[in-house]
Structure 1
């Protein structure tokens, strides 16, 4: 159901309508005033010859008022409802006006030269930096960005995101063989000696455990001895095993060249080589990988990863005091400070923004201008006429009023010249 022009009027349009009615009344009053003056002067012209000048002025004023009324009315509708050619110009030529307006904007406002000249004189980076470096503005940008990011996260389909994560995990994590890259990584660790710290930590942990768990060695060996062995001998054996374990751990920890360390280095070196070149070792690792990450488990891990990340992000984005938002606001303020104080950076950013804007305008200016054309084409002729008349109609009524005054002066001058020359 189409809306009437009155239903489309905003409060500002309503005010313009009242002003238009007032000016129409003034212009019409001037015309009627000229008509009254004409009738009076025409009726008493013989008794008062000087009224001939008044009659000529009134006559010219009426002609000017009527001519300008016709011209103004013809822009928006047929005068007196008579379909005179070349009247009701705006409703009849609405689409052509829209195309002409679009071409005008495209040619005069969306040219590369105009955009480049304007942007080069604007100092975009400096102004943006001065605004962004204020903490309140940086926090505002962060808050708006957080709202947008939260909206995007909530709009995403959990199922679709989980499918993407699962697909990426299978493609980049599970499908490639793990053996060769793990072997190469382990080989580099062994070659650089980076594993020695882990060995030291393991030995230290064993020492601490031994110091705190001597009782665990009670019966460790003696339980496996014959029953006829004396209990004293059994205890002595258990204590000996414990003490030797403590000495061994201390010796490994104290000696960087201990044979046990050498044995560990050799084992890790062989393992690294086997992971890269031994099919049996590679196959066992792949079997273990497939057993650990079967299809249901991969799907479950993808869901857990996404749900955890999503919940954490939404919580951080919603909390103004969260670390994420505070760091983002700080980063934005720091960027603003640099933009405001570093001329080389300002020049780079201004150049980038200008070049990007010029490229977009030069490439898409016809599409941008077509918005005007397409929008005007969709407008209803009556609504278009109503809107345009409200925007410019009040000023056009001054044309009628001026036409009345100019017509009266012209009529007076013409009559005066004719009377002076012809008597």
Structure 2
């Protein structure tokens, strides 16, 4: 949006320059010059106004500029106070909870098989976690050491080359080549306009349109014939070239020092230190989750009894008014106490967080959120300024003459 606004300013400045230079030769350009002059003034004024919110225009420390960076802490304090006064109120929280009737809503959900099963799964996860005594960092360190020893230490090029050579010699890659050729043929058949458009775009501007269309159509026909020939002929030169390239690549991976070095470089890019640690973490996480899930048997008697108890409790919350009232009152009192006791601490998180932000970073965060709309002010200022300049000049010209 900044680029768009700046481009409009540059464009109207160019219009002003041309109109100013030629207005004596063409008197009507005086109107254009006045409009462009007003547009430039409006654009520059609104640029200054928008920029002054977030930074010093052109680095000049003009008074009352860079408002947001200078008043960052005051903004955070005001926002924190607003949240504390209007949201973190015990009466507001209790009123909301009373209107929701959490006990019956929770009971309705718990009394369903899906709700009880969800609670059972979460409870099983808590139980399993209590028996998980292995330290994740230690296990991940062992996995990382194994990966470095058995995966990173050996060179990749020769073994990959040997495997690829066996695959290419057996012709197993031909199906993949067939698939790629078929997809290429389908793409050409469905993209006549794209092919002809590429030809038209790259032709000289002086070439007539009908000539471009003839050339584009000819190129499309020849391209279609070429792809069809590759598709129908298993011994086509293109297929043989692909075979030769792949087999040469497999041999180079085994015997060419430069290619082996490139494979090692690629290995380093794919499995650098962060990637290896992430691989170890993800591997252990997968193994751990698989083992812990195996501990929990949904068909066990304990699982069945637990889910039955949860469903019975949910049914009681729905049907027993006294129990539901007690639960709602307990939730309301707990929430009200938490809000009344810790409202300042909760709201202070906002103020403290904003206070820790760098002033420039804060300005950038806010500008990213609202800056796009603010740039429309610059665009509108350019347009309104141009219209105002034109109207003012027209009125002055009508009253005072040329």
Structure 1 residues 400 and 135: CA distance shift in structure 2, 3 A: same
**In the alignment, is the contact (CA less than 8 A) between 1:75 and 1:90 conserved in 2?**
yes
**For each residue in 1:389-417, what CA deviation from the matched residue of structure 2 results, as whole angstroms up to 9, or x when unmatched?**
22222222222212222222333333334
Secondary structure of 1:121's partner? Answer: helix
Alignment of 1:341-352 (within 5 A): 341=319, 345-352=323-330
Secondary structure of 1:110's partner? Answer: coil
- What's the CA shift for 1:364? 1.8
Q: 1:65 aligns with which of 19, 29, 43?
A: 43
Structure 1 residues 144 and 397: CA distance shift in structure 2, 3 A: same
Structure 1 residues 416 and 131: CA distance shift in structure 2, 3 A: farther
Structure 1 residues 28 and 142: CA distance shift in structure 2, 3 A: same
Q: How far apart, in 1, do the equivalents of 2:89 and 2:326 lie? A: 22
Residue 28 in 1 paired to residue 28 in 2?
no
Q: How far apart, in 2, do the equivalents of 1:85 and 1:148 lie? A: 59
Residue 357 in 1 paired to residue 367 in 2?
no
Give the superposed CA RMSD: 3.1
Q: Which residue of 2 aligns with 1:147?
A: 125
Structure 1 residues 150 and 80: CA distance shift in structure 2, 3 A: same
Q: Which residue of 2 aligns with 1:76?
A: 54
**In the alignment, is the contact (CA less than 8 A) between 1:56 and 1:415 conserved in 2?**
yes
Structure 1 residues 29 and 353: CA distance shift in structure 2, 3 A: same
Secondary structure of 2:347's partner? Answer: helix
**For each residue in 1:266-321, what CA deviation from the matched residue of structure 2 results, as whole angstroms up to 9, or x when unmatched?**
xxxxxxxxxxxxxxxxxxxxxxxxxxxxxxxxxxxxxxxxxxxxxxxx99984444
- What's the CA shift for 1:347? 4.6
Q: 2:21 aligns with which of 22, 27, 43?
A: 43
Structure 1: tracts of 5 or more residues without a match: 1-22, 156-313
**In the alignment, is the contact (CA less than 8 A) between 1:38 and 1:54 conserved in 2?**
yes
Q: Which residue of 2 aligns with 1:337?
A: 315
Which runs of structure 1 show a deviation greater than 6 angstroms over 4 or more consecutive aligned residues? 314-317
Residue 393 in 1 paired to residue 371 in 2?
yes
Q: Which residue of 2 aligns with 1:136?
A: 114
Q: How far apart, in 1, do the equivalents of 2:28 and 2:88 lie? A: 61
Q: 1:85 aligns with which of 56, 60, 63?
A: 63
Structure 1 residues 84 and 354: CA distance shift in structure 2, 3 A: same
Bigger Cα Rg: 1
Most deviating of 26-35 and 359-368: 359-368
Structure 1 residues 82 and 137: CA distance shift in structure 2, 3 A: same
- What's the CA shift for 1:31? 1.0
Structure 1 residues 50 and 377: CA distance shift in structure 2, 3 A: same
Q: How far apart, in 1, do the equivalents of 2:5 and 2:333 lie? A: 52
**In the alignment, is the contact (CA less than 8 A) between 1:61 and 1:404 conserved in 2?**
yes
- What's the CA shift for 1:35? 1.0
Q: How far apart, in 2, do the equivalents of 1:104 and 1:133 lie? A: 40
Alignment of 1:384-423 (within 5 A): 384-423=362-401
Q: 1:99 aligns with which of 62, 77, 84?
A: 77
Q: Which residue of 1 aligns with 2:32?
A: 54
Q: How far apart, in 2, do the equivalents of 1:410 and 1:345 lie? A: 72
Give the total of aligned pairs.
244
Q: Which residue of 2 aligns with 1:298?
A: none
- What's the CA shift for 1:152? 5.0
Q: How far apart, in 2, do the equivalents of 1:355 and 1:410 lie? A: 62
Q: How far apart, in 2, do the equivalents of 1:340 and 1:413 lie? A: 72
Q: How far apart, in 1, do the equivalents of 2:332 and 2:52 lie? A: 45
- What's the CA shift for 1:369? 0.5
- What's the CA shift for 1:112? 3.5
- What's the CA shift for 1:48? 3.5
Secondary structure of 2:100's partner? Answer: coil
Structure 2: tracts of 5 or more residues without a match: 134-291
Q: How far apart, in 1, do the equivalents of 2:372 and 2:47 lie? A: 13
**For each residue in 1:157-201, what CA deviation from the matched residue of structure 2 results, as whole angstroms up to 9, or x when unmatched?**
xxxxxxxxxxxxxxxxxxxxxxxxxxxxxxxxxxxxxxxxxxxxx
